[in-house]
Structure 1
Amino acid sequence: MVIIFRMKKNILFIILLIFLTSCVRFQTFDKTPTASSSIPTPVQLTPTVTTSQLTVCLGSEPNSLYPFGELNAPARSVLAAIYNGPIDNVDFEYQPVILTQLPTLENGDAQIAKVTVKAGDKIVDATGNLVTLEKGVKVKPAGCRNNACAITYDGTTTIEMEQMIATFRMRQDLTWSDGTPIVADDSLYAFEIQTETNVNSYLIQRTEIYEVADAYTLQWFGAPGFIDPTFFTNFWQPAPRHLWSEFPAEQLASIDIASRMPTSWGPYIVKEWIPNDHITLSKNPYYFRARDGFPKTDEIIFRFISNADVAVSELIAGRCDILDPSINLDNHIGLLQEMQLAEQAQAFVTTGMSIEWLGLGITPASYDNGYVVNQDRPNYFADIYTRQALTYCTNRQAIVDNVLFGATSVPASYVPKNHPTYDANLKAIPYDPQVGISLLEQAGWQDHDNNPSTPRQAINVRNVAYKTPLVLNYYTTSTAQRRQVTAILEDSLAECGIGLNIQYFSQNDLYAPHGLLFGRQFDLAEYALGVESVEPACHWFTSAEIPNESNAWSGTNLSGFSNTNYDIACQNAQSYLRGEQEYLNEYRQTQILFAEELPAIPLFYRLRVAATRPEVCGFALDSTANTLWNIESITIGETCQN
């Protein structure tokens, strides 16, 4: 399980992406004339064309095709085939699909305006929270982007703040699959639906106005003080007002025309959905790229196969053309690589925005009312030397090599290595037990019996009782991969005199609200974090993200780490725009602080794995794009030559 955070800027979410291909087969039959006593009348024969098909095998059945619902990964793959865009994200870059261009300050479709605000107005304060302006609120006045120049409002005067405005221009050749033109009002309708049903609430709350400017143009006005690095994506995916508006917004997720057989604008439409078996898509005759020969395949069939062994067998048998990443193929990477060498398959592996973590229980929830030696759990991780020692004593490279077939790497940061903001000067801490032992001894953990196979004891560790053994509770789920990882970590940590008490739990028990993870009741825990956005997830370790009673035990900072300098750097980074030097500088500062403070140990970048039959062409696996983002271009076999 990967914990995925869906709020646009900083909410708890995972994540691995592909570009797929489909197949087109044509057969023509020429009649051969035979001898006859009379000359036959010439007959013009129409070539017989077979319906081209591509079978995509998913890890489970989509839970819905309602685009504004809580969707599982297979649903997102299917939706990519029936909706195009509206904005694609490929290799960490955004591309317009149903817009003529993305708004930028340079092209004039975006601007940062000065607006006057007064007491009682809704604004975004200096920490990024939506608040009512009143005395004592810290704000960033116009021209200020970081906390250093923030001011405290006096409660009476008017002040100028910055407001972002963006103009979105839709293509004018867009048509719903029932033939009705798509207009700007359909996007406004989607905004209204999501406002009523509390979907995407983070962005909606920070939107002052979203309005139609003309038939194909919309304008977005952010709340004063809301500087959004991805403002150019604040366009709401259109919804067919002419079909859906007769139903209450809260019912749309449960009616067929919105959730099972939706009217769409993409290359395909839903032809049939046989529960527990398959979904068939057929060409959308109104697709706006049809005149250019897209989509290349007539039908897409989605099958549901949860067992990875069965899925690989079906690929070999030709009953799956593509294995979607929603099938857990991590343990089959070696086999797929061998099949590729034998020209029996094509294997695709990439990393995305998701990381597997070894969480450190720096501040358990029991410390929230103060730490008491001999009553609370020992304060194992307060000393930075201990956290560094654990990292040196963790053989992460062995995990990458032996569990993940060398297909990923050991992280030095919370940011992916191929991300534009990644700080290439950072180096991952290597496995070095001798350095780890030295750091443990500096922290006061001593080998009391000169037996390296027994756990060390606290001799002079700050805030830890004398002779406390260095034996840590280790919690995770019982998947095969995590059991393999745990075995490697247990052996490598033992080399440094660190003992583990390993316990495996079900996902429900481990991830329950106020449970072991979110309740901050662990010493060490292995879990994954991911985000749907491609903005660096510095918020994962901010103080505001510590799960506690006041936020109903929700948040990503499971370690309970708190560092003022890190919080400020992350807040500052989120206040600048892509392309501004400060944006890059502040995100790199968060990475430097992360590497120094080690709020958690990044074990490896999680993989996204897919496979295709050898005949499939045009398929590529991207770090950030939706699995089937370019399904209209997929080809197979002889048509690959075209």
Structure 2
Amino acid sequence: MKTDFLRLAQQMMQRMRTLRWWGIATAIALMIAFPSVLTACSGQPSNASSDNQIVVSILSDPKTFNPALSTESPNVFNLTFEGLLDQNPMTGEFEPHLAESWEFSEDKLNLTFTLRENLKWSDGEPLTADDVVFTFNDIYLNDKIPTSSRDILRIGAEGTLPTVTKVGDRQVRFTMSEPFAPILSSIGLEILPEHALRESVETLDSEGNPLFINTWGISTPLSDLVVSGRYKIDSYSVGQRVIFKANPNYWDAPQPIVEKVVWQIVPNTDTTLLQFRSGDLDVTSVSPEYFSLLKKEEDRGDFTIYNGGASYGTSFISFNLNTGKRNGKPLVEPYKSKWFNNVNFRRAVAYSLDRDRMVNNIYRGLGVPQDSGVSIQSPFFNENIKGYDYDPEKARSLLEAEGFYYDDQGKLFDKDNNLVRFNLITNAGNKIRESIATQIEQDLEAIGMEVDYTPIGFNILVDKLTNSLDWECHLLGLTGGNEPNSGANVWAVDGNLHMFNQNARPGTDPLTDRQVSDWEQEIADLYVKAAQELEFDKRKEIYDRTQEIGSEHLPFIYLINNFSLAAVRNKIEGVQHSALGGPLWNIEELTLSTTDSDLKE
């Protein structure tokens, strides 16, 4: 089936194959474009095998077992749920999953999926077209449910959503108001069970919100979870581990060789390294600080370090630009809000950050400076973005031109005599981010700013960015891919991850006095326009402009793009590591060999 949409994806992949960085061929993997999510880790999640299981290390507990409400990565849903289709990380081809086929109408306004026969949920109930219709109409497209997925499905200037209808026992049709270029990249969302969740969607709490918003949290009895993926959650011990077991009702028989996946919760990357070196983990992301050490141990440790090229995603700092108030109280202290909303203040910060020093000292040369919210490897990346080279003198000049001044001790004050001091948060346990935060603290102190650096738990951090909105500056990352529309939830002015100026979510107290700037609205409008454009070159021009505006106004001050490195025990055979898919994306094809080192009393 060769539609314009598929040809567009293949054209993207062809352009990807020409990209090189520092002589290392970038991975040409292309995954389904889920909405951008916050990342707790600086690389791929780790994994390990013993007998017929693989053990994976993650930094923090899962935040939710409800895929529609998730905004963080890693999460459990790649193992436990599936969508209608997926995209092969190595070839970029769309592949059927719950659907066996799909077809566009001639005018590109209708997309019809045909489900596989005899699909089942993990509890044995049939998985049908009714589940697909329920998932989209009652959950993802329900404006009472705060899901990031809705933002990437909005179509055209009016932001209309597709109409989803059942047209046969196994057929579901998506009808669009106009052709929508990223539809295949946007529609592979997790399908959810109607029989298990409809009551929670239709029942409202005392404030008129669906009970679904609090359904399938991490305290939910695991027997209540109904999934469609290759694995289901077998056990969960808070702060210790999540164990996944093969789902006997999964559609793609036979059962995988890897019968169990174990996620060890290790809130410190140093401890993760120790566990991998001792053999307790079979796969781990390789951070730059440990690359040389692990490279020397490859033969003795019987593992291989895979390089997937430059990682997808972004790392950045961002200031809270929200001028809003909640219950009459400003989210940000008004005098600090004036600093943060001054574009030259943000530019001064950008000029003061020595990113080359970050690459050399923190990333050990295994990374490159980043200047755009679009991944370097994406065919939509704007190579002409100049960025902000390290120039502390220019930073000082910009600040002084805006009325800031220095006292005799070199400390920076605003024109109202307020000391420039703010709090910087990042997630605790991620050593790379903690090192970057320490350098940022030093770099900004060199231009007179006082930074109170505070590492906090990842789930607490996510809550601050999405619910309480109580923060000043954060250091974080977002997932990325080739299709920029996967970040529509970040750039839409009311998007679910528009974190630098986040609107109140459903179920939280509303905001007053929140303002949206002209440039902010322009980026949002351009994202809409790009999704309307089917021709690749014209789409790229539009996305180029969004990156130019982002670089000019700096809602995110981008930092470093690291290389995607993973160490995998050689007993795991069939690994095809890629920057997008990671080392275990083809887990159903992996086999586990038995060696002498596996034998224990």
Q: TM-score, normalised by structure 2?
A: 0.67
Which structure dedicates a bigger proportion of its chain to helix?
2
Backbone CA RMSD of aligned residues? 5.1
- The alpha carbon displacement at 1:586 in A equals 1.2
Q: CA deviation at 1:395?
A: 0.8
Q: 1:63, 1:379 → 2: CA distance?
A: 33
Higher mean C-alpha displacement, 531-540 vs 629-638: 531-540
Range 581-590 or range 168-177, more displaced: 168-177
Percent identity reads: 17
The partner residue of 1:475 within 421, 424, 434 is 424
CA distance in 2, matches of 1:382, 1:189: 42
Gaps of 5+ in 1: 1-7, 25-51, 113-163, 459-463
Aligned-residue offset at 1:344: 4.5
Equivalent AA in structure 2 for residue 211 of structure 1? T
Are 1:499 and 2:499 matched, yes or no?
no
Partner residue of 1:487? 438
Change (3 A) 1:288 1:269: same
Question: Which residue is 1:388 aligned to?
Answer: 347
Cross-structure match for 2:182: 229
Taking a change above 3 Å as real, the CA distance of residues 511 and 71 of structure 1, as seen in their structure-2 partners, is closer
Distance apart, 1:304 and its partner CA: 2.4
Q: Is the Cα–Cα contact under 8 Å of residues 58 and 303 in structure 1 kept in the other structure? A: yes
What is the DSSP-based 3-state SS (H/G/I as helix, E as strand, rest coil) of the residue aligned with 1:429? coil
**1:359·1:527 contact (CA, 8 Å) conserved in 2?**
yes
1:401 is aligned to 360
TM-score (norm 1): 0.63
* Alpha-carbon distance between aligned partners in 1 of 2:480 and 2:448, rounded to the nearest angstrom: 36
Q: How much does 1:422 deviate?
A: 0.6
Deviations 1:35-83 (A, max 9, x none): xxxxxxxxxxxxxxxxx5132233266577665564875652xx53455
Q: Structure 2 CA distance, aligned partners of 1:553 and 1:21?
A: 40
1:570–1:333: structure 2 CA closer, same or farther, 3 Å change rule?
Answer: farther
Q: Which structure 2 residue ranges, 5 or more long, are not aligned?
A: 1-32, 202-210, 596-601
In structure 2, what is the equivalent of residue 220 of structure 1?
174
2:469 maps to 1:526: no
Q: Which amino acid aligns with 2:94?
A: Q
For 2:450, the aligned partner's letter is L
Per the alignment, residue 211 of structure 1 pairs with 165
Note the C-alpha offset of 1:500: 1.6
Partner of 1:415, secondary structure, is coil
Question: What's the CA shift string for 1:560-581, capped at 9, x where partnerless?
Answer: 7652673465344454245443
SS at match of 1:424: coil
Alignment partner, residue 143 of structure 1 = none
SS in 2 for 1:430: coil
Tell whether the 8 Å contact from 1:455 to 1:469 is kept in structure 2 after alignment.
no
**Residues in 1 aligned to 2:40 and 2:366: alpha-carbon distance in whole angstroms:** 16
* SS of 1:168 mapped into structure 2: strand
CA 1:474/1:110 → structure 2, altered by over 3 Å: closer, same or farther? Answer: farther
Q: Which of residues 188, 194, 197 is equivalent to 2:139?
A: 194
Q: Kindly provide the CA deviation profile for residues 387-431 of structure 1, in whole angstroms up to 9, marking residues without a partner as x.
A: 433322211222233223333322111111112211012233222
Amino acid at match of 1:402: N
What does the per-residue CA deviation read over 1:9-32, in whole Å, with 9 as the maximum and x for residues that have no partner?
9787437786999979xxxxxxxx
Q: Is the 8 A contact 1:618 1:635 kept in 2?
A: yes
Corresponding residue of 2:39? 14
* Superposed counterparts of 1:244-263, under 5 Å: 244=196, 253=216, 254=220, 256-259=222-225, 262=226
Q: Mapping of 1:36-435 within 5 angstroms?
A: 53-59=52-58, 70=70, 73=73, 75-76=75-76, 79-81=77-79, 83=81, 85-91=83-89, 93=92, 95-98=94-97, 99-101=99-101, 103=103, 108-109=104-105, 111-112=107-108, 164-172=109-117, 183-191=128-136, 194=139, 198=145, 200=147, 202=150, 206-207=160-161, 209-222=163-176, 224=177, 227=180, 229-230=182-183, 233-234=186-187, 237-238=190-191, 244=196, 253=216, 254=220, 256-259=222-225, 262=226, 264=228, 266=230, 272-273=234-235, 275=237, 279=243, 281-282=245-246, 284=248, 287-288=251-252, 290=254, 295=256, 297=257, 299-307=259-267, 308-323=269-284, 332-333=290-291, 335-340=293-298, 344-347=302-305, 354-360=313-319, 364-365=323-324, 376-377=335-336, 379-380=338-339, 384-435=343-394
Number of residue pairs matched by the alignment: 516
- 1:455-466 aligned at under 5 Å gives the runs 455=411, 464-465=415-416
| Partner secondary structure for residue 112 of structure 2 | strand
2:460 and 2:62 map into 1 onto residues whose CA distance is 25
Q: Residue 166 of structure 1 aligns to a residue in which SS?
A: strand
* Residue-by-residue CA offset, 1:320-375 (whole Å, 9 max, x unaligned): 3234x6xx968655544443476543345766564332224567558xx9x9xx98
| Alpha-carbon separation, structure 1, partners of 2:378 and 2:492 | 20
- Is contact 1:470-1:498 (8 Å) kept? no
String of CA shifts for 1:118-149, please: whole Å, max 9, x gaps.
xxxxxxxxxxxxxxxxxxxxxxxxxxxxxxxx
Distance 1:11 1:433, change over 3 A: closer
Could you say which residue in structure 2 is the equivalent of 1:27? Answer: none
The 5 A counterparts of 1:491-570 are 491-495=442-446, 497-504=447-454, 506-507=456-457, 518-519=469-470, 522=472, 525-530=473-478, 534-536=483-485, 537=487, 540=490, 544=494, 545=498, 546-547=501-502, 562-563=518-519, 566-567=522-523, 569-570=525-526
Q: 1:580 to 1:531 in 2, by over 3 A?
A: same
